[in-house]
Chains A and B, each alone.
Chain A
């Protein structure tokens, strides 16, 4: 690896597209300069991932004028307009990394194992636990049928249960599962449980699987140690899974650092940003098949993947999960339910089509809100403190709702939401992306909303492992588009009642005053990078995160959409029956506040 990094080329080999970016040091700062893409070539007729990578490089060469390739070799190091200093890559081609995890207790070691696998960038196909209420033969059938890329087995604190862990190993042994790729090699199994059960587990599994043993991921009830298991997963991903995917051996020989699973790299980037500014961050990547949610709260990183919520391949599953009525509630026009169902199924079977009619675009945005909302609900459920730990509580805490108590995601302490994925990054108007994220995540207090402009978080995530400064510079300057801050109530009240007065003082001294009633949302002008002081006085019963009736005074920085003051209350109520106006009209008013959609003659009713 070259020690001085002036020119970096990075690719992300996705299921359908290989995206290449060029990062160059200009003066003292790193900037992303060019971008090229080509169809991924993992599958027939090519069956060699490097073909797609070379095609993406060729486009980069054409656009940048920099010669990167000498035949099929990458030229290193960079000299003037030739070569690069390093090539790095991520991959999610061929369905990414698919794992199964097992642990003794569902909410303890099995959950920790799930977090380790997700954090390493895997899709968790199933969680097997001694107490998951399935009968032994059902567990064995499931392990055999799923054909994961690898299995992570945990269970027991060090010195704790042996028999439950060995029992799980016996189930895996009896299932004798075969890996998804490669007919001949053995399935990798990582054991990261009670160290006193290692020999027994090894006896059961060493002949039937490619067993690796690493540190216990839950050595004590009060402690998780996910790092060694995550590292082992990523090593095995390279050694077993990637090595059997077409062309990856060659690709691995080209890269300066190991190839990372795409979501693992995005997680690295989110963590780097949270570290740099010491903030709490939620990141979301909504793709065609899956939606990934990442969070860092008080330094604790969590990732979840909702494997069947997406905007094309899995679009129909969003409806199946949420119900058609939850989609219709976001539509500011009437439409026949059967018509919506057929449209959605047609998108599912022809996933690469794009909405041409405004009506179709608004429908897709409604579905995106639900996909994001459901994925975030799943994330909050997994991003919890350690279960099984005894805590001292006072009387008032004992009455708090369990879910509120356990999730680490405190919306009132959230500083930044970063959205990524086609429906957010490529929304025709940025305000549409901002609305979708506010509606889905329902931030409270002051939260900055941003989108990843061209999906380069994976590339920057790998880069952050070798040069965090370069990665965060490019992330802030070229990757993120700040849409603007959103100031929201944390509670609700009577629809239409006066709930807050605000004064915005701009840096040039100009002042804007306004007052909002419950159910209203307004967007105030505040350009990207421009600062303003906001003073918001909530009415007695309303809270902006400072306490009921307490004034909020903060300096905020603007974005391309502006400053949003959301007085619609939390949780957001879309039940039109309580208002005086029909919900379609209310939704249209919200859209108009953002100038979210064009007014075409045909759509004047919007």
Chain B
């Protein structure tokens, strides 16, 4: 049966989280099942193949491709250093000798007597994968990576830029509707992740980068700031690899939108803890949202036994009356409310489109009819 499925952003004070930490190519896993790891511990490493360079040797030596092999000083698989001769001609008069030098240090990958081209490969580049979150190794996958489990506060953002980073969480505003000013950011925030209010402008972002802040979590941001920061207009929401020296996560959307009180309160409770955040966003089938993970340390967890603790893999249910939702399109964009009614018949909305709707009740008692496509469940 078709049903209105409105996946929302996860927001959970305590959640059992499993993170897969996989290598891009097969390599070595250097931790064992059961090991306790810190976020910056290396858990696996591999070597990425080096860059390939091509040299058209026959053009350089002015010979025919069929004569290439007999003029080569090196064969496939041989090591070479930069500026070392790899081929030379042997003319009758030595002063006419031509030499072809290697442009790189690496190995000879292939020699082609059709094209006269020699391909050289740079040495492999080592790649290391860190644990990213404090936790325990619960699974190792031979040559591929590990699974790390942690008990943490988990908050999904709606959009982010910049990749994985960790730092101590600080809140630098008093309320979720505040606007953060450059003066609010100072030297004490170096290496930290700062949570702000409803919006952050360019001047404050610049101050944060200059100060060495590792990450910003904020309700909204203008498109203009993102453009300025990236230096181009973002066309498709596939992010996470930007080289901007900071990670920014927005929790609500573009424009000035107060951070949801619940999100703000949850962050406030965890001030001083180390947070692992990742701005990577991919809005296609197989959606990836940015995340804020704030693991509990052993002392915090051992004293408590949270029977309601849920897992990140749990399937999201549909929307029911009484559920808390966020409106995600104009009018009332960003406003939170509770589902009051779920009429089954299609209704005509202002655009004259027929849509499945629901009735939302706001905290002040007012209500509004909203297309179901325009709300988002707040999932715990």
The interface bits of chain A over 339-361 (1 if a CB of B lies within 8 angstroms of the residue's CB, else 0) are 10111111011111111111011
Residues of A within 8 A of B (CB): 15-16, 36-40, 42-43, 45, 55, 58-59, 62, 93-95, 136-137, 140-141, 162-164, 166-167, 170, 173-176, 200, 204, 289, 308, 313-314, 316-317, 319-321, 338-339, 341-346, 348-358, 360-361, 426, 428-429, 598, 600
Decide: A321 near B235, CB < 8 A? Known: A137-B52, A354-B355, A356-B350.
Answer: yes
| Distance of A309 from chain B, by nearest CB (Å) | 10
Q: What are 23 of the A-B contact pairs (CB < 8 Å)?
A: A15-B284, A140-B52, A141-B52, A167-B112, A170-B112, A174-B110, A174-B121, A175-B52, A308-B236, A338-B222, A342-B254, A344-B223, A349-B237, A354-B329, A354-B371, A356-B349, A356-B350, A356-B351, A356-B370, A357-B330, A428-B352, A429-B352, A598-B352
B49 within 8 A of A: yes
- Asked whether B124 is an interface residue with its Cβ less than 8 Å from the other chain, the reply is no
Q: Tell me which residues from 46 to 64 in chain B have a Cβ below 8 Å from any Cβ of chain A.
A: 49, 51-54
**Is there an interface contact between A316 and B52, defined as CB atoms closer than 8 Å?**
no
Contact string, B344-367, partner A, CB cutoff 8 A, digits 1/0? 000001111101000000000000
Q: Is B91 an interface residue (CB 8 A)?
A: no
Report the interface size for chain B: residues with CB under 8 A from the other chain.
56
Inter-chain contact B237/A39, CB cutoff 8 Å: no
Q: Are B353 and A357 in contact (CB-based, < 8 A)?
A: no
In the complex, the answer to whether A313 meets B224 with C-beta atoms within 8 Å is no
Residues of A contacting B226 in the complex (Cβ-Cβ under 8 angstroms) = 345
B330 lies within 8 A of A360 (CB): yes
Task: Verify if B65 is at the interface (C-beta below 8 Å from A).
Answer: yes
Bound: A28/B267 CA distance, A:
67
Most buried by B among A140, A345, A356, A598: A356
Q: What is the CB-to-nearest-CB distance from A401 to chain B, in angstroms, rounded to a whole number?
A: 30
Q: Is B114 an interface residue (CB 8 A)?
A: yes
Are A59 and B2 in contact (CB-based, < 8 A)?
A: yes
Answer whether A353 and B328 are a contact pair too, CB < 8 Å, given A55-B1, A316-B236: yes
B91 to chain A, nearest CB (A): 25
Interface of B is mostly: loop
A77 to B291, CA, bound (A): 51
Contact B328 A42 (CB under 8 A): no
Contacts of A358 in B (CB 8 A): 350-351
Cβ-based interface call for B331 (8 A) = yes
Contact with A along B310-332 (1 / 0, CB 8 A): 00010100000000000011110
Within B362-380, which residues are at the interface with A (CB < 8 Å)? 370-371, 373-374, 376
Q: Is B237's CB under 8 angstroms from A200's CB?
A: no
A346 to B2, CA, bound (A): 26
Chain A residues with Cβ below 8 Å from B284 are: 15, 95, 289, 313
- Chain B residues near A344: list those with CB within 8 A: 223
Cβ-defined contact, A350 with B110, below 8 A: no
Known A-B contacts A170-B115, A317-B235, A320-B234; the reply to A356 vs B329 at CB < 8 A is yes
Q: Is the CB of B54 within 8 A of A173?
A: no
Residues from 192 to 248 in B contacting A, C-beta threshold 8 Å: 222-224, 226, 232-237
Inter-chain contact B236/A354, CB cutoff 8 Å = no
B54 x A137 contact (CB < 8 A): yes
Q: How many Å lie between the Cα of A252 and that of B295 in the bound state?
A: 45
A349 contacts B253, CB within 8 Å? yes
Q: Considering only CB atoms, which chain B residue lies closest to A16 in the complex? A: B285
Pair B283/A348 contact, Cβ less than 8 Å: yes
Interface residues of B (CB under 8 A from A): 1-2, 5, 49, 51-54, 65, 109-110, 112, 114-117, 119, 121, 158-159, 222-224, 226, 232-237, 253-255, 281, 283-286, 313, 315, 328-331, 333, 349-353, 355, 370-371, 373-374, 376
Give which listed residue, A15, A59, A174, A345, contacts B254 with CB less than 8 A: A345
CA distance A361 to B116 in the complex (A): 59
Contacts A349-B254, A355-B351, A356-B330 given; indicate if A167 touches B313 (C-beta within 8 A): no
A contact residues around B371 at 8 Å (CB):
353-354, 356
- Point out the residues of chain B lying under 8 angstroms from A349, CB to CB: 158-159, 237, 253-254, 281, 283
Q: For B234, what are the chain A residues with a Cβ–Cβ distance below 8 Å? A: 316, 320, 345
When the two chains form their complex, are residues A357 and B331 in contact, meaning their CB atoms are under 8 A apart?
yes
Q: Is B222 within 8 A of A356, CB to CB? A: no
Chain B neighbourhood of A426, CB < 8 A: 353
Q: With a CB–CB cut-off of 8 A, which chain A residues contact B285? A: 15-16, 40, 42-43, 93-95
CB distance from B204 to the nearest CB of A (A): 18
The CA of A348 and the CA of B223, in the complex, are separated in Å by 12
Report yes or no: B52 in contact with A174, Cβ–Cβ below 8 A: yes
The 3 closest A-B pairs by CB, nearest first: A317-B235, A136-B54, A428-B352
- A319 and B119 alpha carbons, distance in the complex (Å): 41
Given contacts A170-B110, A170-B117, A342-B223, contact A355 B329 (CB under 8 A): yes
Q: A174-B52, A175-B52, A356-B371 are in contact. Are A361 and B281 (CB under 8 A)?
A: no
Residues of B within 8 A of A361 (CB): 351, 353
In the complex, A562 Cα to B278 Cα: how many Å?
A: 54
Q: Are B351 and A357 in contact (CB under 8 A)?
A: yes
Taking a contact as CB atoms closer than 8 A, the residue among B224, B353, B373 that contacts A353 in the complex is B373
